[in-house]
Amino acid sequence: MLLARGAQVAAGRQAARMLLPQQHAVRRLAVRAGAGGAPDARHVPWLVSLDAAPPLPHALRPAASGRAAAAIAAALSSPPTDADAILMLAGGQTNTGNNLPPWVERRLDTCLGLQRLQSKPCPVLCLGGGTPHKPPILRPSGHVIHESTSCAEYLIAGGAPRELILKETSSYDTVGNAFFSLAIHALPAGWRRVLVVTSDFHMPRSAVLFQDMYSLAGADLLGDPERFQLTFAACSDEGLFEGEVLAARQEKEAGSLVTWRKNASGFKRFSDLHEWLHQTHQCYAVSRQHDFDKATIQDPRLLASY
């Protein structure tokens, strides 16, 4: 087990070298008003798309030019301002500084901007306990620093009120982000209008996962498949990775989306999803908990995006 962990650490260091030199640059923009004093989402840090439905996978997207670019700009000018919650998907940690990689900092900056646009107090829910792809980050005391804890500290430093920050530490992947955000927070809190924030490279699959699970819960548990109104806010990937790193991650995301759709096609009740998650999934099934002692990603290009 120690050898496996050592191999993961070495691979992680090699992967980190594949980030671009400007990886630690953090862009902060003020949220400014648009025409007539209305909030303008084009000035939310790093925001590149805002959709009410899951966006296309990257391989299927047309080039955004001309009328397409104008349509994107128009859509970005009218963000929701009545959200019940903003869900921020964590995305790995580092051993330096605030423990956050630059793509996670961007997601958090976007959340801060969106939170300031809301017409009522709106919590940001930080999602993520860790990842099976790398060992956890530890405090000097030996205690684990959960991904969502590092994210919460960043939001506090950025000016978010502590009482408007929530955490979820049960999830160890995007599937878990969606499930536990729903089971632990959205359902008991009675949320309906939810903003989901993650990186553009991560959004096509994330949006499908959240929409599928939230729709299933709405239909099966609440009698309304449209109970939850989700808006998907994607952050820019520009300048984060070498091209081959970004391409490798986008390819993996597309493959994982195909796998999810096959699995989800058999879910008729919310209990079906629960059973599948806890009986078969690598991160949550007791029968597979030994998999956490194995290196799950061998390609350093791909590991650089975790």
pLDDT greater at residue 281 or residue 1:
281
Q: pTM of this prediction?
A: 0.85
Q: Is the pLDDT of residue 11 over 60?
A: no
Check whether 280 has a pLDDT greater than 90.
Answer: yes
Q: Which residues of 55-85 are buried (b: 16+ CB within 10 A; e: fewer)?
A: bebbeeeeeeeeeeeeebeeebbebbeebbb
Q: Which two tokens stand for residue 153?
A: 């500290």
Express each pLDDT in 122-160 by its tens digit: 999 999 999 998 889 999 999 999 999 999 999 999 999
pLDDT surpassing 50 at residue 84: yes
Q: pLDDT above 70 covers what percent of the chain?
A: 81
Would you place residue 4 in the very low, low, confident or very high pLDDT band (cuts 50, 70, 90)? very low
Phi, then psi, of 196 in degrees rounded to 5: -115, 125
Model confidence pLDDT, tens digit, residues 191-219: 999 999 999 999 999 999 999 999 999 99
